[in-house]
Structure 1
Amino acid sequence: MDMRQCIQNCLECHSVCLETAASCLQQGGKHAEASHIGLLLDCAEICQTSANFMLRNSNLHKSTCRVCAEICEACAKDCESMGDDQQMKRCADMCRRCAESCRQMAA
């Protein structure tokens, strides 16, 4: 896998997760539950961190990518559990794309 593509996926996932967290807080209810918002913020943070490790060509990028893939997958499942909402679907799709590219980088 091309590292540049993985970096791009991580940066895009970071943005989408932050946008989704803001959208969820506006919607309220189950969308604004602490566990859901926390997972979105965790996902955004690890995506940013993984991108930074790859941009610096750190020898430890495989470790951050492995954790990033795990958190992105959890975030995707959580977003899907919120029902048929366009922002949730967009976030789940982006998290899955990022998880796949990070799994490949970690291999």
Structure 2
Amino acid sequence: MNTTPPAIDYKACMDACQACVIACNTCAAACLKESDVQMMAACIAQDLECAQICELAVAAMARQSPHAPDICRLCAQICQACADECSKHSHDHCQTCAAACQQCAMSCNLMGMQSH
């Protein structure tokens, strides 16, 4: 069994993706507690999409998958869409999520430029 840790260059991106997963799940849960949940529907949907692609990206990078750069490029697009949606809302959880998504999008864009 090979227990070699992920390549160093994946670490920052994996950390950004994991922080984004937490921010997106926290935001989605907080949005569900808002008085007008329907108004937050697009935000919740983006949060869930973003959290899932970030989890996939972390797993691909941890495995050093040859598909990791492609997954990271897609992750960056979805993170940017989530950041755009969350930034429309003034709630603290939305602003925190938007910032995490922006950071993750930047990290994933850099990782997407890598080739295996």
Alignment of 1:14-53 (within 5 A): 14-29=21-36, 30-31=39-40, 33=41, 35-53=42-60
Picking from 4, 11, 15, the partner of 1:8 is 15
Task: Measure, in 1, the Cα distance between the counterparts of 2:35 and 2:109.
Answer: 33
Work out whether 1:102 is the aligned partner of 2:108.
Answer: yes
| Equivalent residue number for residue 72 of structure 1 | 79
1:43 CA displacement: 0.2
Q: 1:22 and 1:91 mapped to 2: Cα distance?
A: 12
- Helix, strand or coil for the counterpart of 2:33? helix
What amino acid is aligned across from residue 10 of structure 1 in structure 2?
C
**RMSD of the TM alignment (CA)?**
1.2
The amino acid across from 1:77 in the alignment is: D
Give deviations 1:19-50, integer Å, cap 9, x for gaps. Answer: 1000000014112x2x3211110000000000
User: Which residue in 1 is equivalent to 2:97?
Assistant: 91
- The unaligned stretches of length 5 or more in structure 2 are 1-7
The aligned counterpart of 2:69 is 62
Q: In terms of Rg, which structure is larger?
A: 2
Aligned-pair distance for 1:15?
1.0
Q: How many pairs were matched up?
A: 104
Percent identity of paired positions between Structure 1 and Structure 2 = 35
Query: Following TM superposition, where does structure 1 have runs of at least 4 consecutive aligned residues deviating by more than 2 angstroms?
Result: none
- 2 CA distance for matches of 1:54 and 1:100? 16
Alpha-carbon distance, 1:66 to partner: 0.4
> Which AA in structure 2 matches 1:43?
C
* Structure 1 or 2: more helix by fraction: 1
TM-score, scaled relative to structure 2: 0.86
